Structure 1
Amino acid sequence: MIQLRSTTKVALIGTGFVGSSYAFSLLNQGVVNELVLIDVNKEKAQGEASDLNHGLPFSSAMKIWAGTYQDCHDADIVVITAGANQAPGETRLDLIDKNIKIFKSIVGEVMASGFDGIFLVATNPVDILSYATWKFSGLPSERVIGSGTILDTARFRYLLGQYFSIDPRNVHAYIIGEHGDTELPVWSHTSIGSRPIQKCIKNKPEMPQELDRLFINVRDAAYQIINRKGATYYGIAMGLVRLTKAILGDENSVLTVSTLLNGYYGLQDIYIGVPAIINRNGIREIVELELAEDEAAKLQHSANVLKQAMQPYF
């Protein structure tokens, strides 16, 4: 068990769009006491640290600086957002070769510092890179967490809330599987304002087709945003802060993250997005939903696609 300390410290590796948005969200929400920014472009990290520090008079007390991998040694969480970004026309799986090499170097440097905390991985393809981080680090799998489908689930709940005119915080729904083209909605466990969605669409024959279109918009949201503004970063940054709060606050919250499955959902030796209980020790427990037959088949397909993609590397 990780020992609680009075100081909470996050080491952020990568100060690009996602990393800097995450750092800004941490500052705004007052989640940690210390934040160290690490980037291969040291001047970029220094610039981001200075900019964030200039906001401290408007925020809670926090120590922010640009540092090195050695600063990871006493971090509670190391968050990795570094790596090659998804370009227009690319899928997340197209990034494997470039980012596996980057991650082997990053994780090796972090572990050489004496780090013994929790990894949060956001770089794509997040499921495969979370698996790589687990393998390269040698840490227990419960302490290597990928952002998984936390953002997809948030998009899903937002669009369902819009469709049914319900606050998305009162929509309970999950996207599981690969954070990518083979992800799937779990309609069998979707409720709108505490009512099962099957009751909401009863006697409304047009709704199933409309909800299918809604899911397609969830699945393809990143492509749409990338085509319009070049990258996605605000949503995933907020998702990473939510995970950080769940860990440091020992919340035992259920969030859809990428985690190692060995037996759950009939899958073996794979990181993939599923609901899990998150607390101060990382993954406390995987939540195994009772899936409909077609949902189980789609999850198996999603896992097979990931397995095939990672086969040349592991």
Structure 2
Amino acid sequence: MEINNSNLALLIDAENTTADIDIIAQLLAEVAKYGITNIKRIYGDWTNNLLNPWKPILLKYSIQPIQQFTYTTGKNNSDSALIIDAMDLLYNHTYLNGFCIVSSDSDFTRLATRLRESGKLVLGIGQQKTPQAFRASCDRFIYTEILKPKVEPEIKPQTINSINNKIDISTDKKLTKHILSVFKSISDEEGKATLSIMRGQLDKILNDFDPRNYGFAKFSSFIEATKLFELSNKNTIIKLKNNTQNKNFSTKEQLINAFKNTANSKGIAYLSQIKANLNFDPKELGYKTFSSYIKASQLFDLINRGTQAKFKKQPNE
């Protein structure tokens, strides 16, 4: 879906968003990746001195403040104003392709769902503490924590690496499972996939996915850190490392042993029998079919319409 030329409305909940001029600058740049921000509004009770830090930001970035008086103590009255405005924009500004809601409040969950039901793109931006319900209701959700400008360290070379704050994602089993699942769904018969397609598919199943959440500026660096893949062709193509699934001995050795155990006196074995003697599933290595895995091993020739295999040459005993 091409969204770079989309028309967007940016709606900010002032009472649930930090008034940090550096973060807002990064936020606007992030939203610009998704389209043109035709409407920029921010909601709050501007008679409240707590919102004073917002004023220079609004002037600098031409964000229109919308006044909503606080009628009841403890209630965020700007929520209702933002929701009403969003629905008004939905029906009366039909040129809009999407909405960006900036808040960490779950009260906007139903609004986001309703906008998506009308075919609008919904981009959410908020803190990591934002309730899952609101995050899940958006097409994409971006954490404000990753929008903070990097602080330059003092001139102490030994501390430079400490500011990267990279997370060891290779130990995150849930994330690894998602990554492998996506790779299996998009890899070709040679067990290879395009990095950009991999990123796009991850964005679809994990709407708050962003390599910056894990301390990586580039997706390619994130993929390398999983320790699952090899990158090639200027970091545009990936394939699983040969040792991704082999805990006891290499998959190549297992394949040779499986062939030896099933081959007849003529040195020919059925692929189905070879597969049954393996302790791993080649699909977990990114191969869609067993025959494609056999071809990729470069050990065998396929015969009889690809149902049987024989060694190209005898392996070393």
Higher relative contact order (CA 8 A, sep 6+): 1
Structure number with bigger Rg: 2
TM-score between both structures, scaled by the size of structure 1: 0.36
TM-score between both structures, scaled by the size of structure 2: 0.35
